[in-house]
Copies of this chain bind each other. A is one copy, B any other.
Amino acid sequence: MGKFSFLTGCLAAALGLTIALGLVILFATSHMRNGRSDHEEKDLLTLEDFEDYIMNNVDPQSIRQILRNLTTLPHLGGTAEEWQMSTLISDTWRQQGMDEVHMVPYEVLLSYPSKEVPNLVRLVDQFGGAAWTSAAKQKPLYSPEESNPDVPFTFNGYAAPGNVTGDVVYVNYGRSQDFETLSEKGINLEGKIVIARYGRIFRANIAQMAEGLGAVGLVLFSDPSDFAPEGPEFVYPRSSFLPPTAAPFGTVKLVDGDPLTPFYPATKSAFHIPMADAPIPTIPVQPIGYEDAWQILSRLGGPPAPGEWQGGLNITYNLGPGFSRPGWKLNLDVNNNNTHTTTYNVIGVIKGRVEPDRYVLLGNHIDAWIFGGLDPNSGTAAMLELSRVLTNLVKEKGWRPRRSLVFCAWGAEEYGLVGSLEWTEQFGKQLADRAVAYLNVDMAIEGNYTLRTKSAPLLYQVIYESARRIPNPDPEEAKAGRLTVYDTWALRKPDPVKANSPLMQFIGSGSDYKGFQHNLGIPCMDTRYTHSDHTLGEPQYHTLYETFALVDEIYDRGFHFHKAVTALWGHITLRLSEPKILPFSLDAYATFLSRASDNILEKYGDLISSQNITMDYFTAAVQKFNSTTVAFNNSIEKLDLDNPLAVRHVNDQLMMVERAFIDARGLPGRPDYNHVVTAPSKNDAYSGTAFAGLSDTLCSLQEAPDDLRPNLWVTFSQHLAAVTHVLETASRVLTDDLW
């Protein structure tokens, strides 16, 4: 079935438009006076007091112990083991003394490998015999738990069950431009099994494109050139590099949330669309280790792949189709089951003192593909440690946050943000009315090289300020005079535009903030300690080898990086929960929009003006936002901070800014994305392109055949008008103007 349409190759363009942003921090000074807790508070603790408390009380050994407890057994979303972890979290929060702790169930469609019959890739010789068969499971290499019999057979979530045999084509990273290269070379994918190396784009996009081009199966592997640059000897457990047996799991569903209840929560009363309409692939997809990929690629016939397509296996990568030995085929046998099951979120609340109906939300997911040493449990360990310290602050000092803190542990994130998205669907009205920000930490660490942060522009200042307060967990860096997390971040991930400032990455998608940022317009951030650029991603990501030992012995001996991220998360939380005036970076948003607008005009201005379409209203709206934010910031200077309703008025306006960018009608052809500025590109859910509805359409226009262009121009004009309206709204919500 061709439910996935063919997508044109706009990734390069999308990356070209990626907004790498620093910002000028004008706002900070004027608001620091609000950093103090307000008059209602008896013991006048300053923000610095709170921050010191956090720094003095976050305990690396405590984090280590939590991580150990969270990584003892495989706990896929929707399983009894996930429920066991949910219970561990809810019990912890109750013991810590949170005001409210609740389990929130959703009945959803998840996907599991068979417990009896593994998913296998086979080489079939000319006589129909199996010349070679892939590994059913990843091979235990180090930690005792790797041999746990409950480790599931290797699989991709929601990959269709099926048994297909055919010729193989190597498609490089499976990006749109890769498929175009093959098309130019006259290599047709109809009826073929495609093999792609993983790591450049979201795997669900690869599956979608392969299916759209007629492929009958997809095999994914991680190439050693991307994940084991020091060779097959220097890999886990000797290093953090990828061993040959590692086959990363992951979902291949493209639309987020429960696939059967789009737009509405998967509660007991939910309506379920027919399975045939679910946005999941109809072809089998299977990950394998690179030692297994060698078995396939080393036998591939056809012309050699282009130079850039050559990888780290000691062979020449050919394109196919088919093997060099006549009559040999590949067989792909996937035995996954789509299963109706229940997944649970855990919600814990520390009620606010002054504004209990304003929420600062913190969250991470519960489920892991296997043990989840990094993903998600490094983040969950940080969250449980932070909640321990903050509830202690409540108990010891009688403190309460000015605004409520809502801690969220999400079910079934790995299946495509299922628990968090169902929750934002269920509680969207309340959240849109009351939420200040959602702060996501998925992996607290996926390395120890530098901080990396994705964020809505409104939160830039708060994050920068907080990062400046966190001592550097890297002794070498501290010795070099870079005393804070911020300093190393600015050095190792600098903003290419603004000197001496760390890079703030586009919020895009990829973790549980999606429903908050992209459907509700609640400003979000996602931060972690990351690895260097020597690998394409954290090598053990989603593999068996993402163990406690990987963290404890390789990445974070002593758990100092975990402590840094925990404290950072706490600082950001307090800087959002405590000040009377929300410290939102309006100027950063204005800068962000100006740059994004400039990017579009630079790249596509001629193309657009060739159609006599004016961008004047759009650019005027961007400029208007700029001038409005300046005026608004000035007006705050005169605000009577002792007038609680006047303060609330200003905060409500600030909260409305991100909401203003939400278009209830969604982006062109993408009703599940509503934020017209920060939605990720449709061609790669991981990449960051501002105004994706505009830039995706313009990119498609550049490549579309003539007969499709008129409709694409209509789409562009229509969305341009919607974006302009939304930009004007973002200015107007900062005023009381109804004209």
Q: How far is the CB of A671 from chain B (nearest CB, A)?
A: 9
Q: A191 → chain B, closest Cβ, in Å?
A: 35
A431–B645 Cα distance when bound, in Å, is 18
Q: B347 to A739, Cβ gap below 8 A?
A: yes
Contact status B721-A430, CB under 8 Å: no
Q: A104-B739, A433-B652 are in contact. Are A720 and B271 (CB under 8 A)?
A: yes
Task: Establish whether residues B725 and A269, one from each chain, have CB atoms under 8 Å apart when the complex forms.
Answer: yes
**CA of A641 to CA of B431 in the docked complex: distance in angstroms?**
25
Check if B659 sits within 8 Å of A429, measured CB to CB. Answer: yes
Contacts of A581 in B (CB 8 A): none
Q: Which B residues lie within 8 Å of A617 (CB)?
A: 268-269
Bitwise, A423-450 to B at CB < 8 A (1) or not (0) is 1001101110100000000000000000
State how many angstroms separate the Cβ of A731 from the closest Cβ of chain B: 11
CB distance from A223 to the nearest CB of B (A): 43
Looking at the complex, which of A167-175, A309-317, A354-362, A626-634 is the stretch in contact with chain B?
Answer: A354-362
Considering only residues 264-278 of chain A, those with a C-beta below 8 Å from chain B are 264-265, 267-271
A1 at interface (Cβ–Cβ under 8 A)? no
Chain B contacts of A660 at CB under 8 A?
Answer: 429
- Answer whether A724 and B357 are a contact pair too, CB < 8 Å, given A427-B738, A430-B738: no
- A552 to B144 CA separation, bound complex (whole angstroms): 95
A482 in contact (CB, < 8 A): no
Note all chain B residues with C-beta closer than 8 A to A724: 269
- The one of B269, B359, B718, B729 in contact with A271, judged by C-beta atoms closer than 8 angstroms, is B718
**A645 contacts B354, C-beta separation under 8 Å:** yes
Q: Are B264 and A738 in contact (CB under 8 A)?
A: no
Contacts A269-B617, A355-B645, A721-B270; is A430 near B656 (CB within 8 Å)? Answer: yes
From B349, B355, B732, contact of A427 by CB (8 A): B732
- Assess whether A430 is in contact with B269, with CB atoms less than 8 Å apart: no
Asked whether A186 is an interface residue with its Cβ less than 8 Å from the other chain, the reply is: no
Question: Quick one: closest B residue to A739, CB to CB?
Answer: B102
Cβ-based interface call for A294 (8 A): no
Establish whether residues A725 and B265, one from each chain, have CB atoms under 8 Å apart when the complex forms. yes
Minimum C-beta distance from A613 to chain B (A): 10
Which residues does chain B contribute within 8 Å of A271, judged by CB atoms?
Answer: 717-718, 720-722
Contact partners of A426 in chain B: CB under 8 A:
725, 729
Proximity string of chain A (630-652) to chain B, C-beta cutoff 8 Å, 1 when within and 0 when not: 00000000000000110011001
- Nearest residue (CB) in B for A717 is B271
Q: How far is the CA of A406 from the CA of B724 in the complex (A)?
A: 26
Give A265 Cβ to nearest chain B Cβ, in Å: 6
A423 and B724 CA atoms in complex are apart in Å by 16
Which residue of B is nearest A647, CB measured? B645
Q: Is A159's beta carbon under 8 Å from chain B?
A: no
- Please give, as numbers and ranges, the residues of chain B lying within 8 Å of A359 by CB-CB distance: 738
A4 is an interface residue with CB less than 8 A from chain B: no
Q: CB-CB < 8 A to A732: which residues of B?
A: 427, 430
What B residues does A618 contact at CB under 8 A? 269
Residues of B within 8 A of A404 (CB): 736
What is the distance, in angstroms, from A51's C-beta to the closest C-beta of chain B? Answer: 25
Chain B residues, CB < 8 A from A100: 739
The yes or no answer to A534 lying at the interface (CB within 8 A) is: no
Query: Which residue of chain B lies nearest to A269 when distances are taken between CB atoms in the complex?
Result: B617
Report how far A617 CA is from B660 CA in the complex, Å: 34
Q: Could you say which residues of chain B place their CB within 8 Å of the CB of A427?
A: 732, 738
A354 / chain B contacts, CB cutoff of 8 Å? 645
Q: Using Cβ atoms and an 8 Å threshold, which residues of chain B touch A717?
A: 271
A721 touching B357, Cβ below 8 Å: no
How near does chain B come to A706, taking the closest CB pair, in angstroms? 20
Is B659 a contact of A736 with CB atoms below 8 Å? no
Bound Cα distance A104, B354 (Å): 39
Q: A665: CB under 8 A from chain B?
A: yes
B652, A406: Cβ atoms closer than 8 Å: no
- Binary contact readout A97-126 vs B (1 if CB under 8 angstroms, 0 otherwise): 000101110000000000000000000000
| A350 CB to nearest chain B CB (Å) | 13
- Least distance between A666 CB and chain B CB atoms (Å): 10
In the bound complex, what is the Cα–Cα distance between A83 and B644 (angstroms)? 42
**Complex Cα spacing A355 to B652, Å:** 12
Which residues of the other chain, B, contact A664 by a CB distance below 8 angstroms?
664
The answer to whether A733 has its CB under 8 Å from any CB of chain B is yes
Which has the most chain B C-beta neighbours within 10 Å: A100, A263, A271, A649? A271
Q: Give the Cβ gap from A356 to chain B, nearest Cβ, in Å.
A: 7
Give residues of chain A (233-279) contacting chain B, Cβ–Cβ below 8 Å: 263-265, 267-271
Tell which of B406, B621, B733, B737 touches A429, judged by Cβ atoms closer than 8 Å: B733
Among B104, B357, B738, contact of A736 (Cβ-Cβ < 8 Å): B357
Nearest CB to that of A408 among chain B residues?
B738
Beta-carbon nearest neighbor of A729 in chain B: B429
A333 to chain B, nearest CB (A): 35
A347: B residues at CB distance < 8 A: 738-739
Residue of B at shortest CB range from A431?
B738
B residues near A736, Cβ cutoff 8 Å: 356-357, 404
Closest to A620 in B: B269
Complex CA gap A204/B433 in Å reads 37
A interface residue numbers (CB < 8 A to B): 100, 102-104, 263-265, 267-271, 347, 349, 354-357, 359, 404, 406, 423, 426-427, 429-431, 433, 617-618, 621, 644-645, 648-649, 652-653, 656, 659-660, 664-665, 717-718, 720-722, 724-725, 728-729, 732-733, 736-739
| Known A347-B738, A357-B736, A645-B648; further 15 A-B contacts with Cβ < 8 A | A102-B737, A267-B728, A269-B617, A271-B718, A354-B645, A356-B649, A356-B736, A359-B738, A426-B725, A427-B732, A429-B659, A430-B729, A430-B732, A430-B738, A664-B664
- In the A-B complex, the 9 residue pairs with the smallest Cβ-Cβ separation, listed nearest first, are A269-B617, A102-B739, A271-B721, A271-B718, A269-B724, A357-B649, A664-B664, A104-B739, A644-B644
Query: Can you offer 11 A-B residue contacts whose CB atoms are under 8 A?
Result: A100-B739, A102-B738, A263-B665, A265-B725, A269-B725, A404-B736, A429-B659, A429-B660, A433-B433, A644-B644, A645-B645
